């Protein structure tokens, strides 16, 4: 889980919302997740991400990108593609990816 919310982004920008169902702590998942978090930082246009998981196995990760080129670069990154393939074969019961364009954003923080 990410401890802070992504904020201060000037629209428009894009999101990749990855929702999944998987068993708790499958072998190798934590290491691969950490590696993906490291790799995505180097993608031009990557703005940040937020992630959460329920005890029942539902996970949601939202990645933010300045443009569709950055999002496509992440989608086609060789290590990311290998991790997705491994996830389908070994970790996930199901998942969905939703791509969206953010045109407006606002928030609240208790001071």
Tell me the C-alpha distance between 97 and 17, whole Å.
Answer: 5
Token pair recorded at residue 34: 């950490």
**pLDDT score of 2 more than 70:** no
Specify whether the CB–CB gap between 53 and 104 falls below 8 A: no
**pLDDT score of 25 more than 80:** no
- Distances in Å between the Cα of 98 and the Cα atoms of 54, 78, 80 are 19, 21, 17
Radius of gyration of the chain measured on its C-alpha atoms: 14
Token pair recorded at residue 7: 């904020």
Question: What confidence score (pLDDT) does residue 26 get?
Answer: 83
pTM of the model: 0.92
Question: What confidence score (pLDDT) does residue 3 get?
Answer: 75
The tens digit of pLDDT for each residue in 38-56 reads 999 999 999 999 999 998 8
């Amino acid at each position: 889980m990410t401890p802070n919310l992504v904020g201060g982004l000037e629209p428009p920008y894009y999101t990749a919302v990855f929702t999944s169902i998987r068993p708790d702590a499958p072998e190798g998942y934590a290491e691969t997740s950490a590696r993906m978090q490291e790799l995505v930082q180097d993608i031009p246009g990557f703005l940040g991400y937020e992630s959460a998981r329920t005890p029942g196995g539902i996970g949601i990760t939202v990645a933010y990108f300045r443009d569709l080129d950055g999002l496509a670069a992440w989608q086609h990154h060789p290590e990311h593609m290998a991790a997705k393939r491994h996830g389908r074969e070994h970790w996930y019961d199901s998942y969905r990816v939703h791509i969206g364009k953010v045109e407006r954003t606002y928030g609240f923080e208790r001071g």
